[in-house]
Structure formats: structure tokens, C-alpha cells
């Protein structure tokens, strides 16, 4: 690790929610932040708030060439990437599998899976050259616990969890830690995106419920990233205070 350069975190999906809260917390604690996302205007606003230690990069993580170009052209003073936070992700629709929109399925796979693996693969050489690093992948409890309409979204988040474990197996002898952080019900733009801008419908998801806030997940990311290097947090699952488990759904046929 180049001790002459500030510690840097690379955050995908930093234009709202978990990603934005994570950027603010790490910046507050003296880290440089590389903030990425598709909405350039939001990135510029956040970068202005964070100050000189922030580098905004606008691109689509699902576009393999754009990811490589952005990372290949990082300024030298932002090469000391200690933490990669693969946060970019989304859910679209809540229809059953027989009625789901295939374009929605494609977009979830492109962002939640391809975006994560493209970013990881391109940043890994920098981490290996530096001699240490930590990859924190944002999964979901939906990757472990199915629910009606979760179909492809839950499948992509199960991929995040298993990819993280296998990535750790590959990197254990290279000084790089890997964590799958798996939140439950959180009040961000998640439901607004899922319901394609219907804010009234999205608000019903969180009404009268104690939910996770973006700052809660940012705290978890920071805690994971700052653990002593003699340990690795493999997986961390966080549910909202008013969220738990239901009995199995058993169909009664008459």
C-alpha cells in the first residue's frame, strides 16, 4: 500500500441512498472518495459538497467498456483504492414470473450482477499491486429469503452473496478481504425505482414501520472496512426493526 497517498474508497451507485451516505461518512473520516453513477448532475452536487477529496465519474456499471475506461483513466493520486463498495443495484417490478417484464429482468441482471463483476475485475489489479484492499458487495436479505415477485431480483442478490464467498476464496492469499453486506427493508429510492416513479405506492412500503436508514448501512460499511486485517467479515445480514420471518406459504387445495 502506498502510504504517501490518502486512503481511497470507490463507490458505485453513489447518487442516492446507501452509496451517497457511505461517501459522506468516509469523506468525514478523511478518506478520498471516488463516486460513480449514471446521474452526472447528482454526482457533481455530491462532489461539490464533499470537496477536493472527491472524484465524480459518471458511467453505467452495466457497460463493460465504460467501466474499464473509467478505471483505466483514474488520476494517479486516486489509485490508492483501499475499499471497493459495489453498491449499485436496483429492483424493478413486483409481478410474478409469468407476468414480469423481460426488459426489467435484463436491467437487474446488467446492474446487480454484471456491474458488480465488471467493476470488481477492473479494480482488483490496483488492489493487488497495492498489496491490500477490501471489497464490500451490497447484497440483500432477498438473496436468502424468497418472496412473491422477488424472482430475478432475489436471484441477482443470491449471486452477490455467492460471488463474494468465492471471490474471498480466490483472494485470501493476496491480502484482500471480501464481504457481502445484506440489508433488509430500507427507506431509500429503492421502492420509487421498483415502482417506476410512483411515489405514493412506494411510500406505502415504509408507512408506520421502523426501517433501515441509509446512514445505518454506511455505518456498517465503515465498520467492516476498518476492522483489523487479521479478520474478515464474510457476510453481514441486517434487517429492519419491524422486519422478520413468516411461516411457509402452504396452499390448501379443496
Nearest-angstrom CA–CA distance, 161 and 122: 19
Give the number of other CB atoms < 10 A from CB of residue 199. Answer: 10
Q: Kind and range of the H or E element at 178?
A: strand 176-183
Residue partners of 60: CB distance under 8 A and separation at least 6: 38, 66, 115
Nearest-angstrom CA–CA distance, 70 and 225: 23
Decide: 212 and 187 in contact? Cβ < 8 Å.
yes
Handedness of CA 66, 68, 18, 107 (dihedral sign): positive
Residues shown for the chain: 254
Distances (CA, A) of 249 to 71, 146, 147, 150, 245: 46, 11, 10, 15, 12
Residue indicated by cell numbers 468516509: 26
Nearest-angstrom CA–CA distance, 223 and 147: 30
Is 153 labeled as catalytic in the residue annotation? yes
Catalytic center residues: 153
Amino acid at each position: 500500500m502506498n502510504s504517501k497517498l490518502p486512503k481511497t474508497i470507490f463507490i458505485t451507485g453513489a447518487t442516492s441512498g446507501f452509496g451517497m451516505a457511505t461517501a459522506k461518512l468516509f469523506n468525514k473520516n478523511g478518506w478520498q472518495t471516488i463516486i460513480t453513477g449514471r446521474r452526472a448532475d447528482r454526482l457533481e452536487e455530491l462532489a461539490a459538497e464533499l470537496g477536493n477529496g472527491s472524484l465524480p465519474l459518471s458511467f453505467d456499471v452495466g457497460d463493460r467498456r465504460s467501466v474499464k475506461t473509467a478505471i483505466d483513466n483514474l488520476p494517479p493520486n486516486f489509485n490508492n483504492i483501499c475499499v471497493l463498495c459495489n453498491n449499485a443495484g436496483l429492483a424493478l417490478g413486483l409481478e410474478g414470473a409469468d407476468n414480469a417484464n423481460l426488459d426489467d429482468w435484463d436491467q437487474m441482471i446488467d446492474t446487480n450482477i454484471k456491474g458488480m463483476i465488471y467493476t470488481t475485475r477492473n479494480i482488483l489489479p490496483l488492489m493487488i499491486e497495492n498489496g491490500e484492499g477490501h471489497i464490500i458487495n451490497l447484497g440483500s436479505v432477498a438473496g436468502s429469503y424468497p418472496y412473491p415477485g422477488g424472482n430475478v431480483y432475489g436471484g441477482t442478490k443470491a449471486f452477490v452473496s455467492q460471488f463474494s464467498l468465492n471471490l474471498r476464496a480466490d483472494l485470501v492469499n493476496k491480502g484482500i478481504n471480501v464481504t457481502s453486506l445484506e440489508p433488509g427493508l430500507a427507506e431509500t429510492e429503492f421502492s420509487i425505482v421498483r415502482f417506476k416513479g410512483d411515489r405514493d405506492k412506494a411510500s406505502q412500503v415504509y408507512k408506520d414501520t421502523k426501517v433501515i436508514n441509509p446512514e445505518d448501512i454506511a455505518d456498517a460499511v465503515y465498520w467492516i472496512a476498518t476492522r483489523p486485517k487479521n479478520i474478515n467479515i464474510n457476510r453481514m445480514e441486517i434487517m429492519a426493526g419491524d422486519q422478520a420471518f413468516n411461516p411457509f406459504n402452504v396452499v390448501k387445495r379443496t
